[in-house]
Chain A
Amino acid sequence: MLWNEPFSSRILVDTLARGQSLIGDWSGSRMHNHEHNTYTYLKISMDWLIEGMTAFEGDIYYVSLWAAVKETWTKHCDKAEFFSSENVKVFESINMDTNDMWLMMRKAYKYAFDKYRDQYNWFFLARPTTFAIIENLKYFLLKKDPSQPFYLGHTIKSGDLEYVGMEGGIVLSIESMKRLNSLLNIPEKCPEQGGMIWKISEDKQLAVCLKYAGVFAENAEDADGKDVFNTKSVGLSIKEAMTYHPNQVVEGCCSDMAVTFNGLTPNQMHVMMYGVYRLRAFGHIFNDALVFLPPNGSDND
């Protein structure tokens, strides 16, 4: 919260102007009490084309979230697609026509695979509360083989099952997509209603299906063993570091090559764009043989 409020109240007043007609009183309580059924779905190919899709549910706060996502990091995707649980014309989202998260996920994966199987090798799914640094994602995937059956993210263990948590974003290789999609049509193996007694979260359901298809979760880490997919925001991660290792706060917090952070507000998305893509210390040069160019049609990076 410390990272959140001072900025939003004092400094970032003008940022609201971006989506002011939509937002209203977002900084207060949510206007409606809906469950947030939202995804951002991205694909990366070896041609460096990326797509993102966000599912959006009619809630003013999430309108502003999705607007922020659309205006910030998804511009670094080569292509972004958005999935929503109901039709939202203004954002040109793809209507999944369901409120169930797992159903929505299945449909989204099927849609993406059918449409883009020949064009992309990697598929990245995220929520609109997630901020992703696409260059770091690409850089990370340079060393991975998309023809292998595995999927990446921040993994969580639940009993015997190790699965990639939705919060940090999920990356599937093309091989994993193939296998998943062949199973989606087989209800015994990949049922639409996974839990018998209570509802299982969609990322777990996905993991069960994938495991059945021989696809296993892999935790994405940098060379020092730090997670690159983060389920928390920078501010929250720093706060935790201040509590648990106060003498090595920054070094102990997050990777230099972090790909995702989660739990961001729209304002924080804009701040991250500035903090990641622009703000820097003079004189620090990197001798990169390859470079990613800043995208066209974007002015905040």
Chain B
Amino acid sequence: MLCSFQNTLSEMASKSWLNFLTFLYGSAIGFLLCSQLFSILLGEEGDTQSNVLHNDPYARHSDDNGQNHLEGQMNFNADSSQRKDENIDITENLYQQVKILCWVMTGPQNLEKKAKHVKVTWVQHCHKVSEENKDFPAVGLKTKEGRDQLYWKTVKPFQYVHEHHLEDVDWFLKADDDTYFILDNLRWLLSKSDSKEPIYCGRRFKPFVKQGYMSGEAGYLLSKEGLKRFVDAFKTDKCTHNSSIEDLAMGICMEIINVEAGDSRDATGKKPFHPFVTFWYWNYNYYPPVGGPGCCSDLAVSFHYVDFTTEYVLEYLIYHLRPNIYLYRYQATLPENILKEIGQANKNEGTKVKLGNP
């Protein structure tokens, strides 16, 4: 296109008005064609970039433009989760305060449908969603061995997110497709933490059990600072991925680091290399209810070993079904700093008339 533009220029020998018009016409065409070409080139690049979607499930108005659809047929907008008489000011506020990027482990192509149920249920409540298969082809590279495969599966996703989304969110959640996370409760929990601290929450601190399934890694949560340090650790080979057991790379790195640093909650300078603070474990939310009330928190954060049906069951029980006008025994509160920022969200509580068993 540039060539034709220059050719048009060279025709500008004559100073006649017609030639001038021709020149203008030609340059206009040239300009248009060039911009088309550039936009095509840029567009392709854009496609290989992140397919990260910004989501606001608590938007009062429908924000439904085409690019917000993760997959064409799914209803990505969770507007319908608002129930009659429901007030979600606090939830929405917390949503803005504690931004979480969710990483969906889709696994190989033929298992992609496994992640579908996760994507239409709890993942909708994430601030941003990053999809493994679209953004970085991490799996299906059976022909590649050992080190490379490890790299693609573990380090690359981190580097990718670090490169593209570090400033957008505060926390990075990578989850298996057999978990269910209650994002509102996770945000509540994290509202007491600072994402500028190097925090890593692993799902398990036990020897990893190999499942023989490609995306069998443990899910985990990283703070912004934690992500930075992890990426750095691989860059500087503090963590290596030389293990022949691919799934263990991430787990081993974390566990090695943790062992070295000890199980301390405090970020100290005791050991020479202490990039992470292990904060809290999933384990206390490992299982759904087991009898008595002391077992599981009302505001549990995650459930594991969740099959497809149960993903939807949990979504229904948590965000839809409720015992109408029932007063919950446990009333949680927000930390002071968040409360101040939100202000008087609960001002309209009013007086409650209590009925029922004395």
Contacts and interface: CB of A to CB of B under 8 A. Distances in A.
Note whether A and B form a binding pair: yes
A178 to B, nearest CB: 26
B101 interface: no
A90 interface: no
A242 to B, nearest CB: 7
Interface in A201-258: 223, 234-235, 238-239, 241-242, 247-251, 253-258
Contact of A136 (B74, B91, B184, B324): B324
A242 B305 contact: no
B313 interface: yes
A291 B315 CA distance: 24
Interface stretch (A81-89, A161-169, A269-277): A269-277
B227 interface: no
B interface, by DSSP: helix, strand, loop or mixed? loop
B356 interface: yes
A49 B141 CA distance: 64
Contacts of A255: 321
A281 B318 CA distance: 6
Contacts of A270: 289, 291
Given A287-B85, A287-B350, A3 B309 contact: yes
B317 interface: yes
B89 to A, nearest CB: 8
A291 B92 CA distance: 24
A283 B310 contact: no
Interface in B151-192: 182-185, 187-188
Given A234-B313, A234-B317, A270-B289, A276 B323 contact: yes
Contacts of A2: 307-310
B352 to A, nearest CB: 5
Nearest to B125: A281
Interface stretch (A31-39, A51-59, A292-300): A292-300
A287 B348 contact: yes
A3 B310 contact: yes
A134 to B, nearest CB: 8
A249 B74 CA distance: 11
B87 A287 contact: yes
B13 interface: no
A7 B309 contact: no
B142 to A, nearest CB: 29
Contacts of A249: 120, 312
A250 B322 contact: no
B66 interface: no
Interface of B: 73-75, 80, 83-94, 120-121, 182-185, 187-188, 287-293, 296, 298-300, 305, 307-310, 312-330, 332, 346, 348-350, 352-358
Interface of A: 2-3, 6-7, 10-15, 17-18, 48, 78, 133, 135-136, 139, 223, 234-235, 238-239, 241-242, 247-251, 253-258, 270-271, 273-296, 299-301
Given A279-B289, A281-B318, A291-B352, 14 more contacts: A2-B308, A11-B288, A136-B324, A139-B325, A235-B313, A275-B317, A275-B318, A277-B326, A282-B187, A284-B319, A287-B348, A287-B350, A292-B327, A294-B329
